[in-house]
Chain A
Amino acid sequence: MATAVQTVERENYLNSNYGIKSWLLTTDHKRIAVLYLISITAMFWLGGFFAMMIRLELLTPAGDLVSSDTYNKLFTMHGIIMVFFFLIPSVPAVIGNFLVPLMVGAKDLAFPRVNLLSWYLYMAGAITALVAMVTGGVDTGWTFYTPFSTTYSNTHVIGAAIGIFIAGFSSILTGLNFIVTIHRMRAPGMTWRRLPLFCWSNYAAAIIMVLGTPVIAITLLLVALERAFHIGVFNPQLGGDPLLFQHLFWFYSHPAVYIMILPGMGVISEIVACFSRKRVFGYEFVALASIAIAVLGFLVWAHHMFVAGISVYAALVFSLLSYLVAIPSAVKVFNWTATMYKGSISYNTPMLYAFGFIGLFTVGGLTGIFLSSLGLDVHVHDTYFVIAHFHYVMVGGMVMAYMAGLHFWWPKMTGKMYPEAWAKLSALLVFVGFNTTFFPLFILGYMGSPRRYHAYPPEFQVLNVLSTAGASILAVGYVLPMIYFVWSLRYGKDAGPNPWNATGLEWMTSSPPPTHNFDETPVVTWEAYDYEHQPQEEITVGH
C-alpha cells in the first residue's frame, strides 16, 4: 500500500533557489515546466487576440473592420501561434515536463540540460515568428501552400518558417527526452503495465514528435530556400510540383494533431480515474489505443488532399485508413465512460472539464468521420465545417484537457488550491461559450461558407453573429482562470501532498515537490490506479 509523505513548510523546487539566474539556468524539469507555462500562456493570449479580431470582422458580411491583407494575416498568425506555439507544446511541455519524471519515480528527465535547451529553442522560435508577425506579418495561412507561399505572397514567409523550424526542434527534443525517460528511468517495480496512462499517452505523442517533426522542418526549409533562391522544388513554373509540398507538409501536420490530442487524452484518463475512484476500465486497451493512434496517424495524411488532384485510388486508401484511425479514439471514449459505471463520482472542476472533454471530443471526432467520407468531403472541404471539426477536437477537446490538467495538478505544482466555485463557473462558461461559438460553424460550412474568407454573402450573417457572441463568452471563461490561478498563489488554501486522494507517485511527495522529487526512490509494488486500497476520505479542500 502506498504511503504518503507528510510535509510542512519544507524546501521545495520553488523556494530552493532565488533569482532570475536560478530560473533561466535551471535544469530542474519542474522549473522548466513553469517557464513553459508562462511562455505558452502568453502565446495563447496572443493567438486568442487574433481570434477575437477574426470573429469581430466576421460580425458583418462586408470586409469592413480590417483590410483583406490584414485579415489574411490575422487568420494565418492565429493558426501558426495556436498550432505550433500553443497546442503542440502545451500538455507535454507544461504538464508532461512537470509530471512524467514524478509519475515514473525519477529525479528528473533523462536529459535535463537538453530539456532547458528545448525551452530556449521554443523561445527563440517564438520570438523569430513574432518578429516576422510584428514587422509585417505572414498571410499564407498556417498551411503555407505553394506556390502562393513561395512565389506570390509578399509577406515574411521566411521569418515565420524559420520560427516554426526552430520551435520544431524544441518539440523533437522534448519528445526524445520523454521516450528515453520512460524507457530508462522508471523506478524499481514500475513496469510498463503499471505506468499511468498519462505516461502512455505522452510516450505515444513523443514517438510522433520524434518521427514527424523533422519532416516539416525540412519542408519549411525548402520553402524558405525556394523563396530565397527560386530553386523550383514546389513551383510548377520552374518544373516543381505543388502537390509534393502538400504531401510533405501533411505527412507531419496530420500526425501533429495527434501530438496535440494524445497528451490531453492522458490527462483525462488520470482525472476520470481519480474522480470515479476507480481504475480506468480496460487499461491495456486504452494504453494500446494510444500507440495505435500514433502509428495509424502516420498513414492518413492525404485525407487533407481529397480534392487536391490525387488519384481516386490514393483517395480510397487514405479514406479507409482515416476511418481506422478513428476507432482507437472511440475505444478510449467508451472506456472512459465505462470507468464511471459503478464508480463514486465527484464533481470537482477537473472532472467537469473531463465531462466536457469527452462530450465535445466525441462530437469533434464524429465530424472527422464526416470528413473521411470521400463524397461528403468534396462538399465540405475548405469550408467552415472543417474549422468547426478541428476546433471541437482542439479547443473542446485539447484545451479543455489542458485546463483540466492545470486544475488537477495545480495543487501539486504550487502547493495551493484554486477557488472551486470560480473554477466551476469558468468551466461552465467555457462549455457554453465554446458550443455557441463553434456549433453554428458546422451549419455554415455545409451551407457552403468557405474558410479564410474576409467577406461573405449576407445570408451567412446570422450564424456568424451567433458565433462571435459565443466567442465573447468563451473569452471570459478563459480570463477567469488567469485571474484566480494567480490569486491562488497568494491567497489559495494550502493543498497538502494529496488533496484529491489520488493514486500515482506524484501524489506521494510533497506539494510543491522538493527539487529532487522524492526523498527516497520509490519502490512500486502496486498496480496503477490502485483505488481499491487508496484511502477513501472526503476531499477536505474544495469540493
Chain B
Amino acid sequence: MWKNFPLFPERASALAWQVDGLYFLLIAVSAFFTLLIFAAIFFFAVKYRRSVHPQAVQIEGSLPLELAWTLIPLGICMIFFAWGSLIYFQEARPPKDAMEVYVVAKQWMWKFEYEDGQRDINQLHVPVGRDVKMIMSSQDAIHSFFVPAFRIKADVLPGRFTTTWFRPTKVGTYHLFCSQYCGTNHSAMIGQVIVMDPAAYQAWMSGGAGSSSGSLAANGQQLFQQLGCATCHRSDTQGRGPNLVGLFGKPVLLDDGRTVIADENYIRESILNPGAKIISGFKPIMPTFQGQVSEENLMALVAYVKSLAQTQPKGEAGDGSSVPNTSKLQ
C-alpha cells in the first residue's frame, strides 16, 4: 500500500494472505453496516427534525424487522466464524515434517535453539518456503511470541510447552515482539526473524553462528545418561520404565484407562510430575526431576526422546542433516 502510511504489515507467510483476506472482508462488512447506521441516523435526524416534522408517528415495532435484523447479522457472523476457525485449525496443526526450533523465553530475551545445536539470542534464522515449528516455554512469567509479518502469535508459558508454526514465503527481516506483558523491559523483549533464501541459510548454518556443542538431541542423550534415565528406560523390555524408542507421537494407554498422545508436553510432564500419567502395566515409581532440569535441558531431553521415534537412528549433529525431510528446502 502507501509506503509512508501502511495499513498492514508485510505478508511474509503463507497464512498472511488468508488472515488479511478475512480482515478485509470484515472491514468491508463493518464499513457497510457502520455507514448504514450513520446514514440512517443522519437521514432520519434531518428528515424528521422537529421544525419540519412536529408530530411523531407512534410505531410499536415490527416482528419481521426484528427477525430480519437478528438472523441476518447472525448468518453473516457465522461466515466469519467459519473462516476464522479454518485459519485457526491450520495454525493449530503444524505439518509433521516441519523443522523444529526450541524457544526459551525469559525476562527479557528470546533464546532459540535449533535442532543441530546452534543457538541464537533474539534473532531467529529460518529458510524461506520451509515449515517451521516453534516449541516454546518460559523460564519465568508468561510471554508471547508474535511475528506480525507472519500473522502468528502464541503465548509462551512457564511449566508447559506451547507451539506455533509458520511457513515464511518472503526473504527479509521482520519484527519479533513479546506481546504478553512481562515486566520492566517487556517493550525491549523484541527481536528479528530473518528469512533467508536456501543457499544463504545453508551458509549460515554451516558457519556455526551458534555454539557447536552437539545437536540438541545429542545433548539430550548425554543428559539421559547423566540423570540416570537409562537405568529404567531401557530399549529392551527389561526396564522398570517404558521403552522410549518409537514412543513419541504415539497414543499411549494409561493405567486409569485414558489414552493420550505422547507429545512434547507429555514427555515434559513425565519428567517433572511423573505420577500424573502412568502407562498401563507400569508401577508409579519414577521420581520427579522438578527443580533438577533447566528449561533448555528439558528441551534437549524432549528432542532426544523425539529422535528415538525416527525409523532410522540419527547420527551426531554438525552438518544440519539431522533435520529430516530436506526435500522441502527447495
Contacts and interface: CB of A to CB of B under 8 A. Distances in A.
Real complex partners, A and B?
yes
Interface in A65-102: 68-69, 72
Contacts of A367: 30
Interface stretch (A393-401, A409-417, A450-458): A450-458
Nearest to A342: B57
B34 A363 contact: yes
Interface string B136-160: 0000111010101101111101111
A279 B160 contact: no
A536 to B, nearest CB: 7
A343 B84 CA distance: 40
A170 to B, nearest CB: 28
Interface string B206-226: 000000000000000000000
B153 to A, nearest CB: 5
A129 interface: no
A141 B148 CA distance: 23
A111 interface: no
B177 to A, nearest CB: 5
Contact of B56 (A236, A242, A276): A276
Given A237-B158, A378-B152, A319 B81 contact: yes
A323 interface: yes
A63 B188 CA distance: 10
Interface string B85-103: 1111111100000000000
Contacts of A307: 144, 153-155
Interface stretch (B3-11, B119-127, B232-240, B312-320): B3-11
Interface residues of B, number: 86
B155 A450 contact: no
B249 interface: no
A339 to B, nearest CB: 8
Contacts of A116: none
Contacts of A424: none
A337 B65 CA distance: 12
B78 A323 contact: yes
Given A343-B48, A366-B33, A375-B85, A383 B179 contact: yes
A372 interface: yes
Interface in A457-500: 457, 459, 462
Contacts of B85: 316, 319, 374-375
Nearest to B137: A236
Interface string B35-77: 0011011001100111001111111111001100110011001
Interface stretch (A36-44, A130-138, A146-154, A258-266): A146-154
Nearest to B107: A152
B175 A457 contact: yes
A373 B158 contact: no
B26 interface: yes
A363 B26 CA distance: 12
B322 interface: no
Among A278, A316, A341, A343, the one with the most B-chain Cβ atoms within 10 Å of its Cβ is A343
B218 to A, nearest CB: 28
A459 B186 CA distance: 19
Interface in A248-306: 276-279, 281-285, 306
Interface residues of A, number: 93
A324 B84 CA distance: 15
Interface in A495-515: none
Nearest to B7: A443
B83 interface: yes
Contact of A454 (B33, B54, B187): B187
A331 B69 contact: yes
Contact of A376 (B19, B37, B90, B186): B19
Interface stretch (A175-183, A184-192, A195-203, A344-352): A344-352
Contacts of B84: 319, 372-377
A448 B37 contact: no
B201 interface: no
Contacts of B140: 147, 151-152
Interface string A359-373: 100110011011011
A228 interface: no
Interface string A327-359: 100110111011011111111000000010011
Given A345-B48, A450-B177, A376 B23 contact: yes
Contact of B58 (A237, A279, A383): A279
B184 A69 contact: yes
A77 B30 CA distance: 33
Contacts of A337: 37, 40-41, 44
B26 to A, nearest CB: 5
Contact of A370 (B23, B62, B144): B23
B120 to A, nearest CB: 20
A441 to B, nearest CB: 13
Interface in B177-191: 177-188, 190
A452 B184 CA distance: 11
A68 B184 contact: yes
B162 interface: yes
A331 B37 CA distance: 12
A379 interface: yes
A347 B41 CA distance: 12
Contacts of A446: 7-9, 23
Contact of B9 (A284, A308, A347, A447): A447
B151 A378 contact: yes
Contacts of B58: 278-279, 531-532
A382 B180 contact: yes
Given A152-B141, A327-B73, A342-B56, A355 B45 contact: yes
Contacts of A341: 44, 48, 59
Nearest to A529: B58
Contacts of B19: 375-376, 378-379
A189 B5 CA distance: 61
Nearest to A381: B153
B188 A455 contact: yes
Contacts of A450: 146, 177-179, 187
A320 interface: yes
A331 B68 CA distance: 10
A312 B81 CA distance: 13
Nearest to B161: A309
B290 to A, nearest CB: 8
A326 interface: yes
Contact of B160 (A236, A335, A338, A532): A236
Minimum-distance CB pairs A-B, first 4 = A375-B87, A448-B148, A236-B159, A373-B84
Given A306-B88, A343-B48, A375-B85, 6 more contacts: A72-B181, A152-B107, A344-B50, A345-B48, A362-B38, A453-B187
25 contacts: A68-B185, A68-B188, A72-B184, A145-B180, A148-B182, A242-B142, A277-B56, A282-B62, A282-B65, A308-B142, A309-B162, A312-B89, A327-B73, A327-B77, A335-B66, A343-B48, A345-B48, A355-B45, A370-B30, A372-B84, A375-B18, A375-B90, A376-B23, A447-B8, A532-B58
